[in-house]
Amino acid sequence: MIAPRFHILGLFALVPAFAILGCGETGPPPLAKVHGKVTYKGEPLKAGRVLFVPVSAAKQDGSRVFPAGGTVGEDGGYELTTVEPGDGAAVGEHKVVVMAMSGGAAEGSGFYDGEAVKTKSAAPLKSLIPSKYSDPETTPLTYKVVSGDNVFDIEVTDD
């Protein structure tokens, strides 16, 4: 027969296991690599951010939302991250937000073109692309991420 104190020790050993497993909290859903290039008026967008927002998030079902984001490089290229750098986006349908601003004061931040640094004062922020792309509710861009490698070249237009 096992002594009662060993039962208590066994319970204490289980507490960390339950803490690690959590109370119904889950990590991110399955992720897939997502990358591509962003262009505007036929030219690469030289700075900005891309955000993939899961459409399922619009259901307001209380589940956690795992959007993915990436910085647009000088060649217009981007790679998405959800948790770890370059891990991609959740598998499923997404509204795609693109933001590109001029002005501000953060050279090399990925959002601004350095205009404020050139003038030595904070320049007013101005969108370099139509504002409809900066909001998940108004963006016309929707992409479906599937398992594996996803290449989405995003064309931003004035239409």
Task: Output the pTM of the full model.
Answer: 0.71
What residue ranges define each of the domains in the chain, with the CATH number in brackets?
28-156 (2.60.40.1120)
Token representation of residue 48: 């900005």
Would you give per-residue pLDDT tens digits along the chain (159 residues)? 554 443 333 333 333 333 333 444 567 789 999 999 999 999 999 999 999 999 975 445 556 678 999 999 999 999 999 999 999 999 999 999 999 988 765 454 444 454 545 555 566 788 899 999 999 999 999 999 999 999 999 999 997
Cα distance between residue 31 and residue 9, in whole Å: 39
